[in-house]
Amino acid sequence: MNGRVSGDGGILYDENASDDEDLIETPDAAAPAAIVDWAETSAIPDGLRGADLIQAFVRLLPNSPGVYRMFNEAGDVLYVGKARSLKKRVSNYAQGRLHSNRLTKMVRETANMEFVTTRTEIEALLLEANLIKRLRPRFNVLLRDDKSFPYILVTGDSRAPALYKHRGARSRKGDFFGPFASAGAVGRTINSLQRAFLLRTCTDSVFESRTRPCLLHQIKRCAAPCTHEVSDADYAELVTEAKDFLSGKSQAVKATIAAAMSEASENLDFERAALYRDRLAALSHVQSHQGINPSGVEEADVFAIHHEGGISCIQVFFFRTGQNWGNRAYFPKADPTLTSAEVLSAFLAQFYDDKPCPRQLLLCETVEEQELLGEALSEKSGYKVAIHVPQRGEKKDLVDHAVANAREAHGRKLAETASQSRLLDGFATTFKLERIPRRIEIYDNSHIMGTNAVGGMVVAGPEGFVKGQYRKFNIKSTDITPGDDFGMMKEVMTRRFSRLLKEEGKPDRSVEIAEDAAFPAWPDVILIDGGQGQMTAVRAILKELDIEDCVIAIGVAKGVDREAGRERFFPPAGSRDGFSLPPRDPVLYFIQRMRDEAHRFAIGSHRARRKKEMIKNPLDEIGGIGPTRKRALLHHFGTAKAVSRAGINDLIAVEGISEAVARLVYDHFHEDGTK
């Protein structure tokens, strides 16, 4: 047995953990304490399982707060929980009283446990949320979509601040506004803010190297501070107005612009008045797309849950600076026997594990340990976080609106899930599969005459497309003839399944898969956009990797004259010429939708790679030339072509370029090294 208890509040190392689970980071709030190594756990007899094993651990546990993990025979984490008293909490599992089927099954599968003690229950709650998100245990409520939220960034590290969409760590100097519910909401807002405040959206390198205004200035979307079409003082005023608007002072900003428009009109400066009119219209456009803008809610997140039919939908609305920045629906993975309050409580702790928390949370119902959760979020945020269940007034209206949205999103999800289940069942029947596939991977390639070739893989499952599992493959082989689709597919297949074998091992298809099992890493079926030739190449790769019995490969060839609805399918067994499906067969539409999604993804990846190649600067290829030196060179010479023609003495004259760096740049463009 390797059960261990640590109270260090820092990092718990597990010598027997896998490569992906080699350490656990506890919350920063937990100050280091003495490590408690429970050597007595080595005395627990081997062979104990389930309630007997848990009871053996209980005798050794302290009455202090902490977090426990339960493992199955294979070493997979079944459950992560926290406790005010580890001894009392864990002992409940050994007693077996009032257990649901879910808990009974979890206890029965438990083959090992590990523990971490903490100083307070708050630290235990924060650590529990961190571990659940990272380890994704099978029996916990799981937040399945934890992608970071987009923000609007007004930079503060350049002469003329820029307006950007930003994701990830907020480490860059500047002001961040958000979060927004989606990238689309940010894009629409930035588009309107460009018209209203004329702030630049170009990169710093482009800004530094401009010698004349770009097209955005011509269409009145940018004030062109790059070429001083606007003074630095006037541009700074525009930046201040934009920040004020995003900070909730929208009425004051609109009043100022309206007064300036009236003044320009009275002075018969109608062109200037029209400019102010357009800016006012742009600001009105932003607010009209925000829906509800409550006057009494400055900063809050509103949560509502609808729990029915084994599916939970949590709707979240974001309000910042008195403005509505959109909403998003989540469908956490949770056992159907859990109550809506239990699901919402677990969701909230995970939701703010890596996101900034507002000062107020508005909920549709009281959740478990609501007071403890508020204290934990306050300690993590560094300011008071209040959690309320409003009963009347404007806040109650906001919650009711979120409840209605949660109910509608839940209904749509149920319909989509039922439809997807029927389609997968029909898919299995059509291709005579032994079981309904839980994971289908669809592959496609995209290139232009062999250049910037990209392979795309999309994934579909019981709940539709799983976008977090999509992968792109930049074709790297230099032996492939440009335009050789067979060669490209061979590289994609080899890289995909070689890595899968290394990371997951060969799957055992004889084992029955539980309904509540995690989404599999191995595909049951792969769809190849191609005919018999593509299928021959793919099957050869699968045979070479010795996995031809693990994956079913099906080819989808375009029909006569590439007409949709006349596709031919090439399953693993059957006639060499394949077969077609009736034109209105739902399975045919299902396959077309999957193929079109793979095509869209591959083309999008190819275009992104092609764009990157088109805008690549020769200076990027020089080792030791980072953004600062690159900016200095472009600012001094104007273009990379002018840099390539410069002599060493000219390069040394650039601020920040030493003689060694000048020689490096010069030698890059002059292979003979002549001066």
- The 10s digit of each residue's pLDDT in 302-353 is 999 998 877 889 999 888 877 777 888 888 888 888 888 889 998 998 888 8
Q: If we measure between CA atoms, which residue out of 350, 365, 294, 355 comes closest to residue 325?
A: 294
CA distance 1 to 42: 6
- Is the domain defined by 440-509+518-599 classed in CATH 1.10.10.10? no
Q: How many CA atoms lie within 13 A of 490 on its CB side?
A: 15
In this prediction, what percent of the chain has a pLDDT beyond 90? 11
Per the prediction, the chain carries an average pLDDT of 79
Residue type, 60: L
- CB within 8 Å of 391: residues ≥ 6 apart: none
Q: Is there a contact between 186 and 165 (Cβ–Cβ < 8 Å)?
A: yes
pTM over 0.85: no
Give the burial class of 610: count Cβ atoms within 10 A of its Cβ; 0-12 exposed, 13-18 middle, 19 or more buried.
middle
Give mean pLDDT, residues 184-190. Answer: 80
**Cα dihedral sign for 583, 589, 593, 598?**
negative
- CB within 8 Å of 551: residues ≥ 6 apart: 497, 522, 523, 524, 525, 526, 542
Q: Where are the domains of the chain?
A: 5-135, 151-288, 300-412, 440-509+518-599, 618-669
Quote the tokens at residue 577.
Answer: 């010429």
Q: Which of 57-71, 523-537, 659-673 has the lowest mean pLDDT?
A: 659-673
Going by pLDDT thresholds of 50, 70 and 90, the confidence category of residue 458 is: very high
pLDDT at 481: 67
pLDDT at 3: 43
Domains 440-509+518-599 and 618-669 share a fold: no
Q: If we measure between CA atoms, which residue out of 260, 561, 296, 308 comes closest to residue 417?
A: 308
CA distance 502 to 167: 32
In this prediction, what percent of the chain has a pLDDT beyond 70? 83
Residue 585 CA, distance from chain mean position? 35
Q: If we measure between CA atoms, which residue out of 114, 108, 91 comes closest to residue 48?
A: 108
pLDDT at 45: 66
> Residues 573-621: pLDDT tens digits?
554 567 888 877 888 888 888 888 988 888 887 777 777 666 566 777 7
**Phi/psi at 446 (nearest 5 deg)?**
-145, 135
Q: Is there a contact between 507 and 490 (Cβ–Cβ < 8 Å)?
A: no
pLDDT at 668: 80
- Is the domain defined by 300-412 classed in CATH 3.30.420.10? yes
Q: How many CA atoms lie within 13 A of 282 on its CB side?
A: 23
pLDDT over 50 at 10, yes or no: no
Give the burial class of 39: count Cβ atoms within 10 A of its Cβ; 0-12 exposed, 13-18 middle, 19 or more buried.
exposed
> Residues 26-57: pLDDT tens digits?
444 333 333 333 434 445 667 788 888 888 88
DSSP 563-616: -TT--EEE-SSS-TT-B---TT-HHHHHHHHHHHHHHHHHHHHHHHHHHHHHT-
Quote the tokens at residue 123.
Answer: 């630290």
Quote the tokens at residue 672.
Answer: 């003979």
CA distance 230 to 651: 31
Quote the tokens at residue 361.
Answer: 């949370």
Q: If we measure between CA atoms, which residue out of 174, 224, 165, 178 comes closest to residue 198?
A: 224
Give mean pLDDT, residues 356-380. Answer: 90
Please tell me the CATH code under which domain 618-669 is placed.
1.10.150.20
pLDDT over 60 at 497, yes or no: yes
Q: What is the DSSP letter of 335?
A: -
Residues 62-89: b if buried by 16+ CB within 10 A, e if exposed:
eebbbbbbbbbeeebbbbbbbbbebbeb
How large is the angle between the packed helices 532-544 and 485-504, nearest 10 degrees? 30
Give mean pLDDT, residues 376-397. Answer: 90
pLDDT over 50 at 2, yes or no: no
> Residues 620-642: pLDDT tens digits?
777 778 778 877 887 777 777 78
pLDDT over 80 at 90, yes or no: yes
Q: If we measure between CA atoms, which residue out of 591, 647, 654 comes closest to residue 625?
A: 654
Q: How many CA atoms lie within 13 A of 479 on its CB side?
A: 4
pLDDT over 90 at 59, yes or no: no
pLDDT over 90 at 282, yes or no: no
CATH class of 5-135: alpha beta
Residue type, 171: S
- CA distances, 643 to each of 246, 403, 518, 573, 662 (Å): 41, 60, 55, 61, 10
Q: Which of 6-15, 86-95, 564-573 has the lowest mean pLDDT?
A: 6-15
Beta strand spans in 486-582 (E): 525-529, 552-557, 568-570
* CA-based radius of gyration for the chain: 30
pLDDT over 70 at 409, yes or no: yes
Going by pLDDT thresholds of 50, 70 and 90, the confidence category of residue 211 is: confident
Going by pLDDT thresholds of 50, 70 and 90, the confidence category of residue 189 is: confident
Kind and range of the H or E run holding 430:
helix 393-430
